[in-house]
Amino acid sequence: MTVIAIYNRKGGVAKTTTAINLAAALANNQKRVLLIDNAPQANATAGVGVNPSAQSGIAAWLTDRMPVEKVLIREVYQNLDLIPSDYSTNTHSNLIDRFSLSSHLSLLTIRYDFIVIDNDPTLDLLTENALYAADTVLIPLRIDKFALDGYRELRRHLKDFEKETHSHLPILGILLTQYESRTRVMKGMRKELETSLGDLVFQTTIRKNIQLVEAPFLGRPIFDYAPRAKGAIDYESLAQEVLQRTKKQAVS
Ligand SMILES: Nc1ncnc2c1ncn2[C@@H]1O[C@H](COP(=O)(O)OP(=O)(O)OP(=O)(O)O)[C@@H](O)[C@H]1O
Ligand SMILES: [Mg+2]
């Protein structure tokens, strides 16, 4: 069982798109997957067709007002369960430490092969709970002029977090998203990133694809909405790399 936190301090880099579609791709590969929406915006919840304001979720669970069975939604997609986000309708102000999600998850881990956690771009207590609970972090990165600087700053923050919490949080990989292969500047930046960051960068890049934008409007993963779209091909390819890398991390 592997817990993957999807995280980047930048907004709009495809964290939520990646959380939903990587979770669904792993589920397509006969893995039992739990998607946890740990972001107050609740985009991952809505993105798999669940109405966040009609639903108790992670906040009620972490503050022990509801047992997991009451907040967990089974089979939002084949092999894929969801713990929705209810931060907007439920207070989590009595969530006081970084360890709550980790301890709550311990009872669930035997049921799943993968737990994928979507996060906000802020490094607040909610995100810290996810990072502490995670075995590894996947960083979506959109190529722009400041992508490398942004990544280095993020790395420093994660290192500080590891030191402070005496935890070990290896990076599963850096995923280039919203990629346009026909743009020369992007191609050049991709080379530069791969030279600087080496094997950390996944071989799979997620190409720019309009169906990935449309699918959450219908509350469906890309595989359900447009199985032949570039977005579906790319996230399936990412899942294969994630399966390989998590196998390696588990033995190393
Ligand atoms: N490969 C892609 N091609 C085209 N559009 C994409 C792609 N991936 C994501 N998007 C779009 O980019 C926008 C931002 O994506 P997303 O919401 O997943 O980012 P995020 O990192 O979760 O944002 P936030 O920081 O606000 O949580 C969305 O409109 C999404 O549909
Ligand atoms: Mg998001």
CA of 94 to the centre of ligand 1 (A): 31
pLDDT tens-place string over residues 201-210: 999 999 999 9
State if residue 43 touches ligand 1 by the CB under 6 angstroms criterion. Answer: yes
Q: How many helices (H) and strands (E) does the chain have?
A: 11, 8
Q: Mean pLDDT across the stretch 32-50?
A: 97
CA of 252 to the centre of ligand 2 (A): 31
Supply the pLDDT for residue 117: 98
Distance CA 25, CA 2 (A): 15
pLDDT tens-place string over residues 161-196: 999 999 999 999 999 999 998 888 888 989 999 999
Kindly give, in sequence order, each residue whose CB lies less than 8 Å from that of residue 61, ignoring residues fewer than 6 positions away.
Answer: 67, 68, 70, 71, 83, 104
Q: How is 207-223 classified by DSSP, letter by letter?
A: E--HHHHHGGGGT--HH
Which protein residue has the closest C-alpha to ligand 1 atom 30?
Answer: 213
Distance CA 120, CA 244 (A): 27
Supply the pLDDT for residue 251: 54
Closest ligand (CA of 18) = 1
State if residue 67 touches ligand 1 by the CB under 6 angstroms criterion. Answer: no
State if residue 212 touches ligand 1 by the CB under 6 angstroms criterion. Answer: yes
CA of 45 to the centre of ligand 2 (A): 10
CA of 16 to the centre of ligand 1 (A): 7
Q: What is the band of 98 on the pLDDT scale with cuts at 50, 70, 90? A: very high
Q: What is the band of 42 on the pLDDT scale with cuts at 50, 70, 90? A: very high
State if residue 208 touches ligand 1 by the CB under 6 angstroms criterion. Answer: yes
pLDDT tens-place string over residues 200-250: 999 999 999 999 999 999 999 999 999 999 999 999 999 999 999 999 876
Task: Return the CATH superfamily for domain 2-251.
Answer: P-loop containing nucleotide triphosphate hydrolases (3.40.50.300)
Strand arrangement, sheet containing 201-207:
73-77, 80-83, 33-37, 114-118, 2-6, 136-142, 171-179, 201-207
Pocket test for ligand 1, best of 10, 13, 17 (most atoms within 8 A of CB): 17
CA of 107 to the centre of ligand 1 (A): 32
- DSSP tag of 119: -
Mean pLDDT of the chain: 94
State if residue 85 touches ligand 1 by the CB under 6 angstroms criterion. Answer: no
* CB-CB contact of 177 with 206 (8 Å): yes
CA of 206 to the centre of ligand 1 (A): 11
State if residue 204 touches ligand 1 by the CB under 6 angstroms criterion. Answer: no
pLDDT tens-place string over residues 104-150: 999 899 999 999 999 999 989 999 999 999 999 999 999 988 889 99
Please state whether 27 falls in left (phi above 0), alpha (psi between -120 and 50) or beta: alpha
Supply the pLDDT for residue 239: 98
Supply the pLDDT for residue 183: 87
Q: Where exactly are the structural domains of the chain? A: 2-251
| Residues 192, 198, 203, 204, CA torsion sign | negative
Supply the pLDDT for residue 107: 87
Index of the ligand 1 atom closest to the CA of residue 119: 27
